[in-house]
Amino acid sequence: MSVIKADQNIDARYGFLRARHGQANPQANGYRLGRFFEREQRVILSVLDQTHGPFLDVACGSGLMLAPLLDKGHTVYGLDFNKEGCTAAAQNGLTIVRGDAFQMPFSDQTLGQIINCQFLNQQPSQQTQCFIEEGARVLKSGGQLIILWRHARSLIHKTSHSIFTFLDKFTGQPPFPQYEHPIQEIRGFASTVGLKIKHEAVTLPFLKPDTMTVKNLSSNIIGASFFIVLEKP
């Protein structure tokens, strides 16, 4: 197995959440509410090209995000360093490869669709860049790298993060790291490795539709996550 750069605090946090919520609940992966997960899953599935596999969920946790593909008979690979996460994802039907997102155990140009959800906010910029380079390496031509991460500067996110951080301290839960990644940063890393931006948006925590454009001023107030679809030419 490749070197696993496991962060002990993060591992401890997921151990706590998984013991509390079980294998098939998105809250075991850090989602505060199941309906946020469902909304973000809808957004991911709306752009995923189901005719162009193989499919990989990087930092898959319990592997729930692409679970609907399993019902259609697709094989879905899941990559995570967390041992219990891998066990949960395998029980949920994914084909698991335990390993590191910064050194993916896949050959060059072998995957059609890669998704990565709620992972980048735990990573500093250097690691984020490294992850996007790895994604570009393992994607086939015409393949997509689909990334979703928290809009850490939006008012609603800042407010809820402060409240939850306080509550977590109070209840003795290990802290999650929190890095901001403005969408311009991700665009820059993508263009360095030749990935083209196919689509980008900000997800909303409530209201309809599920997303709004990045340029909409309200996205800085009620935006939940950034969402970008990158294509390898």
Binding site for ligand SAM (CB under 6 A): 5, 10, 14, 26, 29-30, 59-61, 64-65, 79-82, 85, 100-102, 117-119, 122
Angstrom distance (rounded) from CA 23 to CA 84 = 9
Kindly tell me which of 128 and 219 has the beta carbon lying closer to ligand SAM: 128
CA distances from 50 to 76, 91, 124 (A): 11, 22, 31
Angstrom distance (rounded) from CA 113 to CA 53 = 6
Kindly tell me which of 85 and 135 has the beta carbon lying closer to ligand SAM: 85
Tally of CB atoms within 10 A around 217:
7
Angstrom distance (rounded) from CA 85 to CA 125 = 24
CB of 11 to ligand SAM, least distance (A): 7
Kindly tell me which of 82 and 211 has the beta carbon lying closer to ligand SAM: 82
CB of 82 to ligand SAM, least distance (A): 3
Kindly tell me which of 80 and 231 has the beta carbon lying closer to ligand SAM: 80
Kindly tell me which of 107 and 141 has the beta carbon lying closer to ligand SAM: 107
CB of 215 to ligand SAM, least distance (A): 26
Angstrom distance (rounded) from CA 3 to CA 157 = 33
Query: Exposed, middle or buried: residue 216 (CB in 10 Å: 0-12, 13-18, 19+)?
Result: middle
Kindly tell me which of 5 and 158 has the beta carbon lying closer to ligand SAM: 5
Q: Which amino acid is at 97?
A: V
CB of 220 to ligand SAM, least distance (A): 23
CB of 127 to ligand SAM, least distance (A): 8
CB 103 within 8 A of CB 124: no
DSSP state of 127: H
CB of 187 to ligand SAM, least distance (A): 21
Helices (H), 116-154: 125-138
